[in-house]
């Protein structure tokens, strides 16, 4: 009604009316098509609400000015004017929907907000789409966000370099540079195929193939599973062959929902803490002896897996194995003491939390016959 009346009575205002009408209709159309656009509809709705309240207040004031109740009329007008800016937000908030995966990732983000930040490890690395959620819910700095370059000009490039890293040392160097204390991982295929292109010199391990019939399908190279991010997502830090498990990361929580990707069943989100890791310095009877350390880890979703790494003793008869889990609680997960073995000799080693966080050495003696304990 107001639009029609203004169109008829004020020809000089028609260009503004056209802009307002197109702006409002188009944003509301986007809301209907994809509800996550409701925040963009707040602005045109605020303009429309302000216009409606202004015209209504003017009409009410003119009618009541000729009679009694002026104070009450002005109070009503004041309330309407004060409430007008909040009406669009209330409307769009009523139809808003949570982002995809919110029930799975938000509990992890809220838990992260309760964990004191380690100096020099305050940040979180995650795919760019989670950046704002992490900033809001976890209260942590991030590497990248949906705004692209709001953190700095190399934000997306830093994320891309991590998700395309094949060498654990290169991935760790990126985390140290960005002061990262936690890493959130999920199915890496689409990110490697898209954002991964921003990493200088990265190999093309995944690409998108689009078809009008089948939609988007992914072409993958087998080496994709050797990426650090893939090892964390698919193998809990292990690998598809017998390579030692990654010792820079410990799983501190995962989502409640599981999924199947590339024939492997895993959880949708996994949250890892970046740690220095304790150094098991295992003394054996002779050089060149293979020593293995294994620990059973149970996640907050009651899923259990084995973390394992091995090393060969040096000329002095000492094998050094870096381990990321402490005995007992590790965030939301629980790890059992390490079983350190060499042939028939075995020892159970409960590594303290402070040694994992501080990178301390833990001496272990396997020179005695039978089961033993830490040296």
Query: Is the model's pLDDT at 372 over the cut of 50?
Result: no
Cα 161 to Cα 121, 165, 175, 195, 220: the distances in Å are 19, 6, 10, 9, 18
Of 212 and 330, more confident: 330
Q: How far apart are CA 303 and CA 45, in angstroms?
A: 48
| Averaged pLDDT, 243-266 | 92
| Averaged pLDDT, 249-261 | 94
Structure confidence by residue, pLDDT tens digits, 179-192: 999 999 999 999 99
| Averaged pLDDT, 196-208 | 85
Cα 38 to Cα 49, 91, 96, 102, 148: the distances in Å are 16, 9, 6, 17, 21
138 CA to centre of own chain: 10
Determine which of 38-42, 224-228, 309-313 has the lowest per-residue pLDDT on average.
38-42
Q: Which two three-digit tokens encode residue 334? A: 């629980």
Structure confidence by residue, pLDDT tens digits, 77-115: 665 556 555 555 555 555 556 677 889 999 999 999 999
What integer pLDDT is reported at residue 167 of this predicted model?
Answer: 94
* CATH class for the domain made up of 102-274: alpha beta
Q: How far apart are CA 7 and CA 22, in angstroms?
A: 14
- For the chain, what is the mean pLDDT? 86
What integer pLDDT is reported at residue 76 of this predicted model?
Answer: 60
User: Dihedrals φ, ψ of 253, to 5°?
Assistant: 175, 155
What's the pTM? 0.79
* CATH class for the domain made up of 278-365: mainly beta
Domain spans of the chain?
2-95, 102-274, 278-365
Q: How far apart are CA 99 and CA 128, in angstroms?
A: 14
What integer pLDDT is reported at residue 65 of this predicted model?
Answer: 64
Q: Which two three-digit tokens encode residue 361? A: 């050495």
Q: How far apart are CA 17 and CA 230, in angstroms?
A: 53
Q: How far apart are CA 242 and CA 203, in angstroms?
A: 23
What integer pLDDT is reported at residue 348 of this predicted model?
Answer: 96
Determine which of 54-68, 154-168, 242-256 has the lowest per-residue pLDDT on average.
54-68
Nearest to 205 by CA among 241, 169, 163: 163
């Amino acid at each position: 009604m107001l639009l029609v009346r203004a169109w008829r009575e004020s020809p000089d205002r028609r260009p503004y009316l056209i802009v307002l009408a197109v702006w409002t209709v188009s944003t509301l159309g986007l809301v209907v098509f994809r509800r996550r656009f409701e925040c963009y509809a707040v602005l045109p709705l605020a303009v429309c609400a302000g216009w409606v309240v202004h015209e209504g207040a003017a009409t009410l004031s003119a009618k009541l000015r000729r009679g009694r109740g002026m104070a009450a009329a002005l109070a009503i007008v004041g309330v309407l004017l004060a409430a007008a800016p909040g009406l669009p937000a209330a409307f769009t908030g009523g139809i808003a929907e949570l982002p995809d995966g919110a029930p799975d990732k938000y509990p992890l983000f809220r838990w992260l907000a309760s964990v004191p930040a380690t100096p020099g490890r305050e940040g979180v690395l995650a795919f760019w789409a989670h950046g704002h959620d992490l900033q809001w819910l976890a209260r942590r700095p991030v590497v990248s966000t949906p705004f692209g370059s709001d953190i700095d000009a190399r934000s997306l490039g830093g994320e891309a370099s991590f998700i395309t890293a094949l060498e654990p040392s290169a991935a760790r160097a990126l985390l140290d540079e960005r002061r990262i204390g936690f890493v959130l991982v999920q199915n890496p295929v689409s990110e490697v195929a898209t954002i991964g292109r921003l990493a200088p010199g990265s190999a093309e391990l995944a690409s998108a193939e689009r078809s009008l019939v089948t939609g988007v399908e992914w072409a993958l190279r087998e080496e994709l599973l050797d990426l650090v991010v893939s090892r964390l997502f698919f193998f809990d830090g292990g690998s598809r062959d017998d390579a030692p498990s990654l010792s820079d990361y410990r799983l501190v929580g995962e989502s409640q929902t599981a999924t199947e990707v590339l024939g492997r069943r895993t959880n949708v989100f996994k949250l890892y803490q970046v740690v220095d890791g304790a150094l098991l310095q295992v003394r054996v009877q002779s050089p060149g002896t293979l020593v293995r350390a294994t620990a059973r880890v149970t996640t907050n979703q009651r899923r259990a897996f084995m973390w394992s790494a091995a090393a060969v003793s040096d000329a002095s008869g000492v094998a050094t194995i870096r381990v990321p889990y402490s005995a007992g609680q590790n965030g939301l997960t629980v790890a059992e003491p390490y079983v350190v073995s060499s042939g028939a000799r075995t020892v159970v080693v409960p590594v303290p939390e402070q040694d994992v966080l501080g990178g301390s050495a833990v001496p272990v003696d396997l020179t005695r016959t039978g089961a033993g304990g830490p040296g």
